[in-house]
Amino acid sequence: MESEDIRQLRQRLGWSLADFGRYFGVTAQAVLKWERGTAQPNDFALATMIQLRSGLDAAVGEQQKQQFINGLKRALLTGGILALLAYLFNQED
């Protein structure tokens, strides 16, 4: 995933730099470095971002996209990144 892909993903989710960073356990400045291409997220974060993008791509219509994003937020707020991954992989069922 390239730096521009990370920026586009964050914007599609409607998350600020700080929100995106918090969900991945980093600062807003770290996310900005990812988006500028001066630093790379770890492999775990990259794999999660790829799953996030796939989930957004699969959402049909604005309502389904918003439901997906709301589910992501609930998973992240209640259980962190592991809950997020469980949520993402269960979307395929």
Average pLDDT of the chain?
85
pLDDT in tens, 14-34: 899 998 998 888 999 999 999
Check pLDDT > 50 for residue 36: yes
Tokens describing residue 58? 């699969």
Six token digits for residue 31:
């996310």
Alpha helices (runs of H) in the chain, residue ranges in sequence order: 3-13, 17-24, 28-36, 43-58, 61-90
Reported pTM? 0.77
Give the number of residues written for the chain: 93
Q: Is the pLDDT higher at 51 or at 85? A: 51
* Whether the Cβ atoms of residue 9 and residue 65 lie closer than 8 Å to each other: no
Q: Using the predicted structure, report yes or no on whether residue 54 has a pLDDT greater than 90.
A: no
